[in-house]
Amino acid sequence: MRRRVFSVLLSAVLMATALTGCGGSADTADDAQTAQESPEKEGAGIAKEDLKVGFVHIGDPSDMGYTYNHDQGTQKMQEDLGLSDDQIINKFNTPEDAQCDTALRELVDAGCQIIFGTSFGFEDYMLEVAREYPDVQFCHATGYQAASSGLSNMHDYFTPIYQARYLSGIAAGLKTETDKLGYVAAFPYAEVISGLTSFYLGAKSVNPDVTMEIQYTNAWNDPKKESEVAQALIDSGCDVLSQHSDSTAAATTAEKNGAWHVGYNADTIAAAPKASLISACIDWSIYLTEAVQAVIDGEEIPADWCQGLSEDGETDTIYLSPLNEDIAAEGTQEAIDEAEEKIRSGEVQVFQGPLKGVSPEGEEFEVKEGEHFPEQEEASAPTWSYIVDGCTVVG
């Protein structure tokens, strides 16, 4: 499977750097030599009462999706570390443009020693500000440039959410009556395509006849557009929807049409109790707590951090919301539990061959029988960006 096309993919996305994978947490030796020394590397910690932590979010917790989920992690981190409310500064509803630069600088001016940016499009702005303020730590969710930047105060973090997506897909595959799923997707980025692919593969693992239609909204959070796309997918015969978008619009649209829904980031049963089956979620508090504690202790933060299902289950960063037993197909929980154990043990690899796909640019890719695509094994950022057989982009 490690053919030329995979080398090109990794060199383009990961810029040919040796990154820390999901099981590790150390920076590369090259980084240590080229990166600008930070207070953490000198062992200079910060008194907890003097700490300020900043966040830049693309939305706000009212989305009941991505930003809500991340903010839940912030609150858990704050509780675990015993920080006061005035030590946390949030910049909500920040677009992926120059307003991000402004928000970052305002957080620096406010005295934040560590700043988290939680949307993909923030990374270039964070890199620029990080270069100017080497004493401030910058942590970016879903990014890929930190390890190659030469900056010891720039860090990327994410989780292998594709594992939870796969498990949530099992609920969809067992529930569908038309064998046709629909997916409300934000952008044709690797992060999104990795998630929708793993969801489909989970569904297909229990229902070989299932197919899936995908339609992009070209926005992370646009309830009106998400509802329109969900309606179009239902009208085309999709009876179970999932999403990589931030609002509950897909769930409520499914309920209005007598369809079903699998969520992302938050339990949507309250929003659509007759439609919502289950949701794939992330516990961001684990990373946030580790990173902030590192600043307090004067310890180094990994350039690239990724952690998923743990061996003992005590530090899982990904999880499923409770299954809606009132509407789920019989045997769904048992099928999910069985698959989860096989993922934990390594018996099941989500991107297992034989698997064929085509990128948005038309590049073909194949994973051969007996091999698997090492998604997030070599870096925290997802790199799978191929639409597999059985899935079709529409609209």
Give tens-digit pLDDT for 163-213: 999 999 999 999 999 999 999 999 999 999 999 999 999 999 999 999 999
Specify the length of the chain in residues: 395
Say which residues have a Cβ less than 8 Å from residue 92's Cβ, sequence separation at least 6: 57, 59, 60, 61, 67
9: pLDDT strictly greater than 50:
no
Stretch 31-48: mean pLDDT = 54
pLDDT of residue 159: 97
pLDDT of residue 72: 97
Percent above pLDDT 90 for the chain:
86
pLDDT of residue 43: 56
39: pLDDT strictly greater than 60:
no
Stretch 221-250: mean pLDDT = 97
Stretch 216-231: mean pLDDT = 97
78: pLDDT strictly greater than 80:
yes
238: pLDDT strictly greater than 80:
yes
**10 confidence band (pLDDT: 50, 70, 90):** very low
pLDDT of residue 42: 45
Q: For residue 126, is it left (φ>0), alpha (ψ between -120 and 50) or beta? A: alpha
Say which residues have a Cβ less than 8 Å from residue 120's Cβ, sequence separation at least 6: 96, 142, 143, 189, 191
CB atoms within 10 A of CB 6: 15
pLDDT of residue 209: 98
Rounded Cα distance between 76 and 79, Å, is 5
**61 confidence band (pLDDT: 50, 70, 90):** very high
What's the whole-model pTM score? Answer: 0.88
> 37: exposed, middle or buried (C-beta count within 10 Å: 0-12, 13-18, 19+)?
exposed
Residue among 188, 193, 195, 198 at smallest CA distance from 166: 198
Q: Tell me what the pLDDT averaged over the chain comes to.
A: 90
pLDDT of residue 22: 53
Tell me which of 83 and 35 has the higher pLDDT.
83
Question: What pLDDT, in 10s, does the model give residues 108-124?
Answer: 999 999 999 999 999 99
**276 confidence band (pLDDT: 50, 70, 90):** very high
